[in-house]
Structure 1
Amino acid sequence: MRFSNKTALITGGGTGIGAAVARRIRQEGGNVALVGRRPEPLRAVADEIGASVITADAADGAAMREALETVVEDFGGLDILIANAGGHGVGPTISMSDETWDLAIRMNLNTAFVSARECLPHLIRSKGNIVVLASIAGLFAGPDAAGYVTMKHGCIGLAKSLARDYGRKGVRTNTVCPGWVRTAMADEQMQAVVEKFKLRNIDEAYALVTKDVPLGRPATANDVAGAVCFLASAEAAMINGAILTVDGGAGTVDLPTLAFAD
C-alpha cells in the first residue's frame, strides 16, 4: 500500500500506460484523478477502479487550473503528477506541415510543461513528485519521426530542469523512457508494419521490431507502470533527475555489431 493517503493526477489516463499506472496506484491505496480530452475511455477506467474523471486538455493552462481545483476539493491536495499524455509528430521532416509540427509540440511537450507548471504549487506543499513519460525516442532517433523525437528529447530536458529547480523545495522529478509497448496506439503502428512486410498479424510485427532487443519482446503497459510507480513512491525518495529506460535492453545494443549476430 505504497500510495495510502496519496493523490495522483494522471494525464492521458484513459488508455495504455496511463490506465495501467492508474490501476496500480489504486490497488496500492492511492486516490487517482484521470485527466484527458476524451471522456469515454477515462470513464471506462474510472468505473473499473474507482477514480475521478476530469475532461481537460493538459496543454491548456486554464483547463488544468480548473482540474486541480476539482482534485484539491475532492481529495484535499495533490502528491503525484504522472505526465503521460503524448503522441503525434511522425513523418518525414521534408514534408511535415506546420500543423503537424505544432501538434507534436502541443501533445508531447506542452502537456508535460503545462501540467507540471500548474501542479507545482500543490506538489511543493505536499513534498510530492513528478514522473514524466518520455520514450527511448527521447534518447535516440527513429526514422521519419522528427516531431516525436524532438519533443521527447524536450520532455527529458524539462524533467531535468524541474529536478534541478524544485528538488530543494522537496519535489522530485524523474523520467521513464519506454521502448515498444503493446498498447492500442502501438497496435496501429504495427498494422503498418504488417502491411509493409506482408506479415500475418501484429504479433509477427512486434516480433520483427523487437528482434534485436535483448529481451526479445515489447513491454506491456504493466511493465512500464511498475517502473513509474516505483519512481512515484517513497521507495525512490533519493532518486531525482533520473532517466529510467523500460526497453528490454534496446539501448544497450551496439548497432554496428548487428551484422555479427547469429
Structure 2
Amino acid sequence: MTAMTTENDVSLTVGQAAEQTGVTVRTLHHYDEIGLLRPSGRTASGYRLYTAADLERMQQIVVYRRLGFSLEEVAELLADSDAVAHLQRQRQTVMARMAELGDLVESIDRALEAEMSGTTLTAAERRELFGESFDEEQREAQERWGDTAQWKQSAARTKRYTKEDWERLKAEQRGIFDRIVATFRSGAAPERTEAMDAVEEHRVFIDRWFYDCPREFQVKLGELYVADPRYGEGIAGEALEGLGNWIRDAIVANAAREG
C-alpha cells in the first residue's frame, strides 16, 4: 500500500482532501465528528486543514472499510500505532477475503456450467454417468435441435434435476433399453404387442423426464434410428443389424394402434 503524501506537507482543505482520498466532504465531516479522523489544523476562520499524516490515516480507514469493518472496528484497529501490525492485519484480511471469493467463483462457475449445459451435474459427474462422449453429443444435439420447443422444454426441466434424479433416470432408461433389445432379439415382429409396448414405454419415459412426446412426435424420432445408426447403438450398446428399422417400425405400429 503506497502512502498518500502532499508536497512539503502543505495542508489541504476538506474539499482537496476529499478529492485526494476519494471520499465525500460529508464523510470527512462525519469522521471528524466521531473522532475517527480529526484534521491536524484549522484556518484562522476555523476551516479544517488536513496534512499528509491525516491522509495516510484516511487511506487506512478506506482500506479497512472496503474490507467490511465497521467504523467502531476501524477505530479499534487504528488505536494501535504499529504500522507493520496494520499492514499485517490488512494482508491477512485480504487473503481471507480472496479465499472466500475464490470459493464463490467456483460456485458461480458450477452454476454457470449447469445453466449452459441444462443440467445441475458437474462435467465429471456427467462423464461418470453418461460416458466420456456425453458433452460432445450434447453439443451436437443442441446445434441440431436447440431452436425446437422440445429442446427448450427439456432444458427447463433437467436444469432442476439433482444427481440422484439423473441416477434414477439413467437406471430407468437402461431398463427400458434392455427390454427393447431383448424384444428385438426374441424375433418379435414390430407390430407385435410386446414390441409396441416396449417403444411405448420409451415414449412415456421421454414424456415424463424431458419433453411432451405424443405418439405422432415419436414417429418423427423413429426416423432417427434409421437415419443415424448411433441412436440404435446408444440403446443396444453395440451395432445390431436391423435394430434401427425395427424400432422405427414398432413406433409407427404403436402410433397406429388404438388406446
Q: Which TM class, normalised by the smaller chain length?
A: under 0.3
**Which protein has the larger Cα radius of gyration, Structure 1 or Structure 2?**
2
More strand by share: 1
Flag the structure with more relative contact order, 1 or 2, with Cα contacts below 8 A and sequence separation at least 6: 1
More helix by share: 2
Relative to the length of structure 2, the TM-score reads 0.22
Relative to the length of structure 1, the TM-score reads 0.22
